[in-house]
Amino acid sequence: MICLTPQRYQKRACAVFSKTRRAWGKLTNMHDDFPLLWADKTILGGSEALYHALRFTEHPALQQYVLDAPTPMQSKTRAYEHLEKTRDDWLLGGNVQAMHWCLEQKTAQYFDTLLAVMLASQDKPFVEYSSRDPFWGASKVAEGEIEGVNALGQLWDRTRLRILGHALKHPDSPFEPMALALPEPFLLEHAIS
C-alpha cells in the first residue's frame, strides 16, 4: 500500500504541510474546519477523531468518548488515555488502513475543496512535516531536506490520484469513498461496509 522505508525529500520540490492555516494545511488531520458526518452524527474532530475511534472497535463507549471531543487535538488526547485498548492489528497495518479510509471520508464530504488543493499541488509529493513523528511525517535532516516514512503524505498522494481521476471521469457524480480494509470494522456498534 505505502512504502515503509524512510525517504528523503527536498522541501522545495514537495507540497509540505504541518500547520492548519499555512500552505497545504487543509490536508492536516488537525484542521478543525472539516467536521465529518457519519451515521447521522457530526464528528467535530474530523478525520483525526474518526481515525482514533477506529483503533477501539471493540469499545463503542470509548469510541463515543473520542468522537465527542470538540477538537481534533482533544480527540487524539482522549484516545491516548486508553492506548492499552487499541485493537491488536493496529500497528500491523490497521492504522494505515484506517487512516486511508478516514481521508477518503474527508474527501467525499469536502470534494471540491480538496480537488482545488490537489490541482494546486501540481503533482508535487505531499509531505507532512513533523519534528516528532517520522512514521506519519518527515522531519528536518539537513537544510532544505526532510526525511521520514511520511505515511500521511503517501496516502494523500494516492487519494489525489483518485480525486483527479474522479473529477475527469465522473464530474457530475459524488465521490465514493473506498471500503475500509480492516477485519471487523465497527464504529459505534455499526459495521462499516
Torsion of CA 116, 122, 126, 128, to 10 degrees: -70
Q: How confident is the model at residue 1 (pLDDT cuts 50, 70, 90)?
A: confident
Tens of pLDDT, residue by residue over 92-112, are 999 999 999 999 999 999 999
Which residues partner with 187 through β-bridges?
Answer: 190
Round to whole Å and give the CA distance between 50 and 193: 15
Q: Give the three-class secondary structure for 136.
A: coil
pLDDT at 3 over 80: yes
Round to whole Å and give the CA distance between 60 and 65: 9
Provide the grid cell at 145.
531536506
Give the pLDDT confidence score for residue 186 in this predicted structure: 87
Read off the pTM. 0.95
Residue with cell 512514521: 135
Which residues partner with 140 through β-bridges?
Answer: 146
The predicted model gives 76-86 an average pLDDT of 98
pLDDT averaged over every residue in the chain: 94
Could you give the domains of the chain?
A: 7-191 (1.10.357.40)
